[in-house]
Amino acid sequence: MTSLDEVQKRRLLAYSVPILAVLSALVIGAIMLIALGADPIKGFSKLFSGAFGSTSALTETALKATPLLFVGVGITIAFRANVINIGGEGQMVAGGLLSTIVALNAPDLGPFILIPLVLLAGLVGGAIWGAIPGALKAYYGVNEILSTIMLNVVAVQLMNYLLRGPLIDPLEVEKGTRIPQTERLLESADLPRLFGSGRFHIGPLVAILAAVVAYILLWRTPIGYRIRAVGQNTSASRYAGIPVKRTIVLALTMSGALCGLAGAVLVFGSESHRMVTDGSTAGFTGSAGFNGIVAALFGGLHPLWTIPASFLFGGLLVGGLALQRAVQVPSALILALNGLVVIFVVSSDRFRKRLLERPPVVIEDDDNAQPTAVASSADPPGPAGGADPGGGET
Distance, in Å, from the CA atom of 183 to the CA atom of 356, rounded to the nearest integer, reads 53
Question: Are residues 261 and 334 part of one domain?
Answer: no
Q: What is the pLDDT along the chain (394 residues), one digit of tens a residue?
A: 456 677 777 777 777 787 888 888 889 989 999 998 888 899 889 989 999 988 899 999 999 999 999 999 999 999 999 999 999 999 999 999 999 999 999 888 889 999 999 999 999 999 999 999 999 999 999 999 999 999 999 999 999 999 999 999 998 888 888 889 999 999 999 999 988 777 899 999 999 999 999 999 999 999 999 999 999 999 999 999 999 999 999 999 999 999 999 999 999 998 888 999 888 888 899 889 998 998 898 888 899 999 999 998 899 889 988 888 888 888 788 888 878 887 887 787 777 777 777 555 555 555 554 554 444 443 344 444 444 444 444 3
Question: Are residues 284 and 161 part of one domain?
Answer: yes
Question: Are residues 344 and 281 part of one domain?
Answer: no
Range of the domain at 169: 63-328
Of the candidates 67, 54, 3, 15, the residue with the CA atom closest to the CA atom of residue 282: 67
Asked whether residue 43 is domain-assigned, the answer is no
Question: Are residues 267 and 341 part of one domain?
Answer: no
Question: Are residues 313 and 343 part of one domain?
Answer: no
Asked whether residue 166 is domain-assigned, the answer is yes
Question: Are residues 192 and 69 part of one domain?
Answer: yes
What pLDDT shows up at residue 389? 41
Distance, in Å, from the CA atom of 285 to the CA atom of 282, rounded to the nearest integer, reads 5
Please enumerate, as own/partner, the contacts of 212-220 that have beta carbons within 8 Å and a separation of 24 or more: 212/303, 212/304, 214/73, 214/76, 214/77, 214/258, 214/303, 215/302, 215/303, 215/304, 215/388, 217/77, 217/254, 218/76, 218/77, 218/80, 218/303, 218/388, 219/388, 219/390, 219/392, 220/392
Asked whether residue 190 is domain-assigned, the answer is yes
Number of domains in the chain: 2
Residue 201 is classified by DSSP as: B
CB 135 within 8 A of CB 250: no
What pLDDT shows up at residue 358? 56
Of the candidates 63, 30, 61, 34, the residue with the CA atom closest to the CA atom of residue 48: 61
Question: Are residues 242 and 291 part of one domain?
Answer: yes
Backbone angles phi, psi at 352, to 5 degrees: -65, -40
Q: Which residues does residue 276 pair with via DSSP β-bridges, in sequence order?
A: 181
Question: Are residues 347 and 300 part of one domain?
Answer: no
Question: Are residues 317 and 335 part of one domain?
Answer: no
What pLDDT shows up at residue 368? 52
Residue 304 is classified by DSSP as: T
CB 312 within 8 A of CB 298: yes
Asked whether residue 55 is domain-assigned, the answer is no
Cα-to-chain-centroid distance, residue 121: 19
**CATH number, residue 193:** 1.10.3470
CB 240 within 8 A of CB 69: no
Asked whether residue 170 is domain-assigned, the answer is yes
Strand 361-364 relative to strand 371-375: parallel, antiparallel, unpaired?
A: antiparallel
What pLDDT shows up at residue 220? 94
Residues in the chain: 394
Question: Are residues 253 and 337 part of one domain?
Answer: no
Report the Cα–Cα distance between both ends of the chain, in Å, rounded: 26
Asked whether residue 53 is domain-assigned, the answer is no
Asked whether residue 212 is domain-assigned, the answer is yes
Question: Are residues 107 and 84 part of one domain?
Answer: yes
Question: Are residues 351 and 315 part of one domain?
Answer: no
Domain boundary among 328, 356, 374: 328
Write the single-letter amino acid at 107. Answer: P
Domain boundary among 328, 350, 369: 328
Asked whether residue 319 is domain-assigned, the answer is yes
Distance, in Å, from the CA atom of 219 to the CA atom of 77, rounded to the nearest integer, reads 11
